[in-house]
Structure 1
Amino acid sequence: MSHPTGGVDDQHAEPEAIQAIRRKHPWRFVLAVVLVVLAALFVYDAAFNRPVFAWPEVGKYLFDTRIIGAIGYTLQLTVYSMIIAIVLGVLLAVMRQSPNPVVKAVSWVYLWLFRGTPVYVQLTFWGLVTVIYKTITIGIPFTDAVVTLTTKDLLSYYTLAIIGLALNEAAYMAEIVRAGLLAVDKGQDEAATALGLGWWHTMTRVVLPQAMRVIIPPTGNEVISMLKTTSLVAAVPFIGELFTRQRDIAAVTYQPVPMLIVASIWYLVITSILMVGQYYLEKHFAKGIGQRPDVQRPSVATETITVVGEAEPGHPTYTEEDGRTSIVPPHSGTGGGGR
């Protein structure tokens, strides 16, 4: 607020810079030191005081051809299962939103069944498929079979492992996709319909691109989870993946701990690569989200606030009929602002 006797230079003088003093947090430093010391003690103990770790054995089998081959099978199980799960999950999510009560009920029962039972139990059942259904017949009901296939010859343990993992994961992907679709405002769908876009173009060009920023983060987590879930396919039984292969080697060397460390190292390496890919995918689909808009400039010219009833130099006054003196407001600026 300007003073009646103050000049123009006093009104617009630059304020002195604030000398901010950073607040000290000594306990944060103490906690950091304690954590670093504990980590160093753990590493030292694991490296020199625990012979059961057998680090030479870890280095010996880390790049063993059997381990590398098992990593290939693990990646195949992860990729193939996730592709099938994503496709089936999208279908189940659409079915959950269908106005047809039968279609919606089928989707709900599928989710209830596969989310309500452990994946290990499901994989065990898939391993018994060749026993429960020894043959598969194709033909018209109540007539002679046209084609009869032996289940054991048709479905290998590798294929059954992929099917078991994919069907279980599809139940979770369906809920992730459904949450992403529901996150898009209904007005987007209505606007696309008003523009004459069909269902396919509306989903692929309007709804799904906006839903991806909600779908990608949990999907990335599910991919990482699927990588580790492949260790359960021994229930089928399929013995080619990483965990089962290291267990077979440990059964011969009688040193299970080093082989567990080898498997853990490779799981960590692959998971780290997947996390980097997930980060860039999230960054790509989150473009334009969370960015602060530019500060809107005022449309009215602003000036130094003055005391009511006191005229600034250069502002004319006039006398009203009752004898009061009023300040004539400026009219030359934008929105009534002067100067």
Structure 2
Amino acid sequence: MTAVRDFKTEVPGHTDTYRLIYRKSFSQIIATVVTLVLLVGILASIVGNENFKWSIVGEYFTAAQITDGIMLTLQLTGICMVIGTALGILLALMRISGNRLLSRVAYVYIWFFRATPLLVQLIFWFNISALYPVFAFGIPGVGEMWSINTNAFITPMFAAILCLSLNEAAYMAEVIRGGFLGVGNGQSEAAKALGMNGFQVQRIILPQATRIIVPPTANQLITLLKNTSLVSIVGIADLLHSAQLIYSSNYQTIPLLIVAGIWYLIITSVLSVVQIYLEKHFSKGTRGSTPAKRIKRRRPSGTTSLGRA
């Protein structure tokens, strides 16, 4: 079995067309056939299995409770991403600063939030009132100036935003720090040699670092979107919790989980497409951003690997 593709030479003065022939081995053919058979079998088992109850999936796919959960999930993702990115920038600047104390504090923060499970963090912040029943602010010798009951302050929504934002900040700090380090010291040294101050130096480095920061940031956004499903354990009516509320009343667990899963797939796919366009935008003008033109030298007739078309 062979695959044929034509291409033209780009060498000035030559307009010959060549045919490149790819030969597939017998093992590749067997692997392709086996894979296709498995895919067809899996698809047939999913579509033909009545236990999936696709009619119920279609019935609740655009239900008001589900769409409200989607909106809350998107709002939670956006809020936490903005706060986490802002804190991540601050932590990244602390990590690369010359101040050893600030660098170590940022390192410990990043280490702690990356080393502990997100679910544990969420439960901890939701039950913080067990440690601090009252948040109070005062000045020694003057007395208490402000106080608030922790249970009234740390609502489930606030605990979720606080937990997800603080956790996201740790990961974004490393992403942003990697972007700054990826530019290289030569850029900042050259800017300082021209007499630029710190703010002007960052204006030189930031556009270059953005190209490195954008792809992993988009991945973090997708990860954060999926991590919001954990807030269902504290009673927040996100997408997953909305599906749980429905199947707790009609006992259609699998169909409602399929509804939630499909919506997560749709939102993640949209974000992935946006990520592709952002990567193309920020890679303009960089080396390797556009595919190199294929240049083939003229080959004499009668060769075995290339046949004259």
> In 2 relative to 1, CA 139–52 (structure 1 residues): closer, same or farther, beyond 3 Å?
same
Contact 1:180 1:212 (8 Å CA) reproduced: yes
Residues in 1 aligned to 2:289 and 2:73: alpha-carbon distance in whole angstroms: 43
> In 2 relative to 1, CA 112–253 (structure 1 residues): closer, same or farther, beyond 3 Å?
same
Residues in 2 aligned to 1:282 and 1:229: alpha-carbon distance in whole angstroms: 24
**Equivalence map 1:1-339=2 (5 Å):** 20=19, 22-27=21-26, 28-48=28-48, 50-141=49-140, 143-203=142-202, 205-235=203-233, 237-291=234-288
Amino acid at match of 1:276: V
Post-superposition Cα deviations, 1:75-109, rounded to whole Å, max 9, x if no partner, equal: 11111111111111111111111222211111111
Give me the TM-score of the superposition, normalised by structure 2.
0.84
> In 2 relative to 1, CA 132–142 (structure 1 residues): closer, same or farther, beyond 3 Å?
farther
What is the SS of the residue equivalent to 1:22? strand
Structure 2: 5+ residue runs without aligned partners? 1-12, 293-309
Residues in 2 aligned to 1:200 and 1:284: alpha-carbon distance in whole angstroms: 25
Amino acid at match of 1:36: L
Residues in 1 aligned to 2:232 and 2:19: alpha-carbon distance in whole angstroms: 62
Give me the TM-score of the superposition, normalised by structure 1.
0.77
* Number of matched pairs: 278
Shift of 1:47: 1.3
Shift of 1:30: 4.2
C-alpha RMSD over aligned residues: 2.2
Post-superposition Cα deviations, 1:54-89, rounded to whole Å, max 9, x if no partner, equal: 101100110000000000111111111111111111
Contact 1:81 1:165 (8 Å CA) reproduced: yes
Residues in 2 aligned to 1:23 and 1:63: alpha-carbon distance in whole angstroms: 47
Shift of 1:15: 9.6
Higher helix residue share: 2
Shift of 1:151: 2.0
Greater C-alpha radius of gyration? 1
Shift of 1:263: 0.4
Residues in 2 aligned to 1:125 and 1:23: alpha-carbon distance in whole angstroms: 59
> In 2 relative to 1, CA 124–292 (structure 1 residues): closer, same or farther, beyond 3 Å?
closer
Residues in 2 aligned to 1:16 and 1:110: alpha-carbon distance in whole angstroms: 62
Structure 1: 5+ residue runs without aligned partners? 1-13, 296-339
Amino acid at match of 1:249: I
Shift of 1:113: 1.0
**Larger relative contact order, structure 1 or 2 (CA cutoff 8 Å, min sep 6):** 2
Shift of 1:206: 1.1
